[in-house]
Amino acid sequence: MSNTLDPKVIVALDFAEASNALSLVSQLDPKLCKLKVGKELFTAAGPQLIETLVEKDFQVFLDLKFHDIPNTVKKACQAASNLGVWMLNVHASGGSDMMQAALEGVHNSQQNPYLIAVTILTSMSQDNLTELGISRPLEEQVTHLAKLTQTAGLHGVVCSAMEAETLRKAVNDDFLLVTPGIRPVTASQDDQTRIMTPEKALTKGASYLVIGRPITQADDPLSALHNINADINQYTS
Ligand code: C5P
């Protein structure tokens, strides 16, 4: 099966406790998906959970979105990389110096995880930017921060699938676009408003798809994952 080498689906483990996350993970297969651990689960379960997932051969995206002074972010990225994660992230709005320091931290770790950045959170509106003193149109600011991320030497950005097409034209082909807000046609929309199917997101230039509830809340999570992988099989390698 071609998607066993580099699964495109990153399952978002949005759970409050390690036990619930591990119960879901026991139904999944590291050849079919990667996993994302965010602030809630990491704060509750700690680095030990990450090590457990890595021992189970899963590639883990540690989604902690670091944003602090460069030296602090550098040390945090080094510590996160030492856990053996596959990907980690920072906020691009921390600036070039912070992103370059983050990259240094990753390199110091002797591991080789992808380091990506969040541009503008999709929960932010133009009004929120204005409030912060940013007058540039939101879409332009997203592109600006993605280019800044690329120039700083990072490997990609997290972005809405809706932004993927525009960003893909603005950045290099190998720059990673990691997109949440993905829903198979048959799945519930949940609280996501601007959604895209897995197939369409990849067509628009997404590199990896973050998918949570359509898999984690499915009656049969493995079969939900299999169905998504079957839909996107032509894009996997
Ligand atoms: O369950 P669902 O597929 O909506 O989960 C999507 C995951 O992606 C969650 O972990 C959510 O926090 C994250 N995310 C998102 N939208 C963004 C950034 C991250 O849904 N703009």
Residue whose CA is closest, atom 18 of ligand 1?
A: 180
CA 14 to centroid of ligand 1, rounded, Å: 9
CATH number at residue 224: 3.20.20.70
What residues form DSSP beta bridges with 208? 178
Establish if 151 belongs to a structural domain. Answer: yes
Establish if 194 belongs to a structural domain. Answer: yes
Q: Are 45 and 72 in contact (CB under 8 A)?
A: no
User: For 83-115, how does the pLDDT look when each residue is reduced to its tens digit (9 = 90+)?
Assistant: 999 999 999 999 999 999 999 999 999 899 999
Number of domains making up the chain: 1
Q: At what angle do helices 138-151 and 96-108 cross, to 10 degrees?
A: 40
User: For 131-141, how does the pLDDT look when each residue is reduced to its tens digit (9 = 90+)?
Assistant: 999 999 999 99
Establish if 1 belongs to a structural domain. Answer: no
Relative to the CA of 14, which ligand 1 atom is closest? 10
**Catalytic site includes residue 65:** yes
Half-sphere exposure of 76 (CA within 13 A, CB side): 19
pLDDT at 144 over 90: yes
User: For 159-192, how does the pLDDT look when each residue is reduced to its tens digit (9 = 90+)?
Assistant: 999 999 999 999 999 999 999 999 999 899 898 8
User: For 113-133, how does the pLDDT look when each residue is reduced to its tens digit (9 = 90+)?
Assistant: 999 999 999 889 999 999 999
Relative to the CA of 191, which ligand 1 atom is closest? 4
Q: What is the pLDDT of residue 208?
A: 98
Establish if 128 belongs to a structural domain. Answer: yes
Establish if 3 belongs to a structural domain. Answer: no
pTM score of the predicted model: 0.95
Separation of alpha carbons 60 and 138, rounded Å: 30
Residue whose CA is closest, atom 8 of ligand 1?
A: 180
Q: What is the pLDDT of residue 85?
A: 98
CA 36 to centroid of ligand 1, rounded, Å: 10
CA 163 to centroid of ligand 1, rounded, Å: 15
Q: Is the CB–ligand 1 distance for residue 184 below 6 Å?
A: no
Tokens of 151: 């120039």
The domain of 36 spans 9-236
Query: DSSP assignment of the chain, as one string?
Result: -GGGSS--EEEE---SSHHHHHHHHTTS-TTT-EEEEEHHHHHHH-HHHHHHHHHTT--EEEEEEE-S-HHHHHHHHHHHHHTT-SEEEEEGGG-HHHHHHHHHHHHHTT---EEEEE-S-TT--HHHHHHTT--S-HHHHHHHHHHHHHHTT--EEE--HHHHHHHHHHS-TTSEEEE--B--TTS--TT-SS-B-HHHHHHTT-SEEEE-HHHHTSSSHHHHHHHHHHHTGGG--
Q: Is the CB–ligand 1 distance for residue 217 below 6 Å?
A: no
Tokens of 237: 């390698």
User: For 192-213, how does the pLDDT look when each residue is reduced to its tens digit (9 = 90+)?
Assistant: 888 899 999 999 999 999 999 9
Q: What percent of the chain has pLDDT over 90?
A: 90
Establish if 2 belongs to a structural domain. Answer: no
What residues form DSSP beta bridges with 182? 196
CA 100 to centroid of ligand 1, rounded, Å: 26
CA 24 to centroid of ligand 1, rounded, Å: 17
Establish if 209 belongs to a structural domain. Answer: yes
Establish if 170 belongs to a structural domain. Answer: yes
Q: Considering 65, 75, 147, 200, which one is annotated as catalytic? A: 65
Q: Is the CB–ligand 1 distance for residue 7 below 6 Å?
A: no
Q: Residue 236: which pLDDT band, with cuts at 50, 70 and 90?
A: low
Q: Is the CB–ligand 1 distance for residue 213 below 6 Å?
A: yes
Q: Residue 2: which pLDDT band, with cuts at 50, 70 and 90?
A: very low
